[in-house]
């Protein structure tokens, strides 16, 4: 058996490698220019910008593309299509967190807090409802969605409910940002 097959934390390792790769790629100028040119592709660009809008590393680029598109397309149409792209991006994050990453984090957590004090607090009747609410606020805001999606993934929310909530919140958030830029822009 190889080292990689025995390694317990494959997904955490992959997450760290992908963060480092995204940081390195963000410094590469031709890649930056390619992302900015997505604004020339109309609604396809809006969908891709929605996907980019939900991640910490690409949120600024996604916002720039959306603002470029807002100069020529309807804010409502951009919000709906970019909202679908954002749902796709959030879905990928949700699946990653809900399925494999949660198991690896639980294994680490078991080593750190064997009595599960923190988990008892999270699942108490006073605190458990706040995870989806805080997650929803983060998803609707211009902040990157990873933390909000993580909170919803921890809260044992169903996939269907998550997809609907993600679409509504992302579409509203994107619409408000585009509308504000149109109002502020001279």
> Both tokens of residue 164?
């609907």
> Both tokens of residue 68?
């470029």
pLDDT digits (tens, 9 = 90+) for 137-158: 888 877 767 777 777 776 677 8
pLDDT averaged over the chain?
Answer: 77
- The model's pTM is 0.70
* CA 65 – CA 52 distance, rounded (Å): 9
Task: Determine the 3-state secondary structure of 118 from DSSP.
Answer: helix
Cα distances (angstroms) measured from residue 98 to each of 91, 112, 149? 10, 21, 9
- pLDDT computed for residue 184 by the predictor: 80
- Of 136 and 26, more confident: 136
> Both tokens of residue 66?
């959306």
In this prediction, residue 2 has a pLDDT band, given cuts at 50, 70 and 90, of confident
pLDDT digits (tens, 9 = 90+) for 27-66: 777 876 776 677 678 889 899 989 988 877 677 778 888 8
């Amino acid at each position: 058996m190889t080292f990689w097959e025995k390694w317990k934390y494959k997904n955490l390792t992959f997450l760290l490698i992908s963060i480092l790769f995204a940081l390195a790629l963000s410094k590469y100028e031709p890649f930056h220019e390619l992302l900015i040119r997505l604004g020339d592709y109309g609604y396809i660009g809006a969908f891709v910008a929605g996907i980019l809008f939900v991640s910490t590393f690409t949120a600024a680029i996604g916002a720039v593309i959306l603002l470029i598109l807002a100069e020529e397309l309807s804010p409502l149409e951009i919000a709906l299509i970019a909202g679908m792209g954002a749902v796709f991006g959030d879905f990928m994050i949700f699946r990653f967190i809900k399925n494999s990453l949660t198991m690896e984090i639980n294994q680490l957590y078991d080593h750190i807090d064997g009595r599960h004090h923190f988990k008892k607090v999270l699942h108490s009747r006073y605190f458990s409802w706040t995870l989806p609410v805080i997650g929803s606020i983060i998803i609707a805001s211009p902040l990157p969605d990873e933390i909000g999606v993580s909170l919803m993934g921890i809260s044992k929310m169903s996939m269907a409910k998550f997809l609907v909530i993600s679409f509504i919140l992302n579409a509203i958030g994107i619409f408000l940002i585009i509308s504000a830029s149109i109002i502020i822009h001279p």
